[in-house]
Structure 1
Amino acid sequence: MELTLHVRGRIGGGMVIAVHGDLDFAAVDRFRACVERALQPPPGILYLDLQLVTFIDSSGVGALVALRQQAERAATRLVLENPSDTLRHTLRTAGVLDSFDVPPA
């Protein structure tokens, strides 16, 4: 499924990027570019709404890790919202879930 990204402000501050579709090798460059643009200027907090992510591969996981590091350098808190159980499992298996701010399900 093709990746679509919707960027919007959030009441109370920060930015939200709603991610829909497959976060894979074919889409990861567009995803990274979108998040990098959202970090300029730093919003203080950036929410990635992952509820509609249908698939993630290793390049998608790698992009999330790299973007978390970029957000830290920009003094921005990166929050992964609404990840599916499958996505949580993939991030846990990759050993990176605990490095993200993920609100309880």
Structure 2
Amino acid sequence: MDMSLHVQGRIGGGVVIVARGDLDYGATDRFRQCVERSLRPPPGTLHLDLRLVTFIDSSGIGALVAAHRQAEQAGSRLVLENPSAVLLRTLRTAGLISLFGLPPQ
């Protein structure tokens, strides 16, 4: 399944990127560009709504880590919202739960 990305503002501030589909090698360039655009100007908080992500591979994990780094460099905070079970399992396996401030279990 291809990835679709929808950017919207959030009441009270911040920007939300809603991702749907597979965050894999074929989608990472679009995902990274979307994050980069969403951080100009820095929104304070960048929310990634990932409840509809059905698959993630190592390049997708790399894109999430890069997004975290970009947000920090821009003076923003990155929040992963509603990570799917598939995504949580992959982040736990990769040892990245604490980087994104997610609960260990």
TM-score (norm 1): 0.95
Alignment gaps of 5+ in structure 2? none
Partner of 1:80: 80
Q: Equivalent pairs: percent with the same residue? A: 67
Q: Superposition pairs for residues 27-66 of structure 1, below 5 Å?
A: 27-66=27-66
Partner of 2:70: 70
Aligned length: 105
Change beyond 3 A, Cα 1:93–1:103: closer
Q: What stretches of structure 1 move > 3 A for 4+ residues in a row?
A: 101-105
Verify the 8 A CA contact 1:80 1:103 in the aligned structure 2.
no
Verify the 8 A CA contact 2:48 2:78 in the aligned structure 1.
yes
Rounded Cα–Cα distance in structure 1 between residues aligned with 2:101 and 2:76: 12
Rounded Cα–Cα distance in structure 2 between residues aligned with 1:69 and 1:28: 15
Alignment gaps of 5+ in structure 1? none
Rounded Cα–Cα distance in structure 1 between residues aligned with 2:30 and 2:62: 14
Verify the 8 A CA contact 1:15 1:38 in the aligned structure 2.
yes
Partner of 1:24: 24
Rounded Cα–Cα distance in structure 2 between residues aligned with 1:43 and 1:104: 27
Change beyond 3 A, Cα 1:104–1:17: farther
Give the deviation of 1:104 after TM superposition. Answer: 9.4
Give the deviation of 1:3 after TM superposition. Answer: 0.4
Partner of 2:4: 4
Superposition CA RMSD, Å: 1.6
Rounded Cα–Cα distance in structure 2 between residues aligned with 1:96 and 1:104: 10
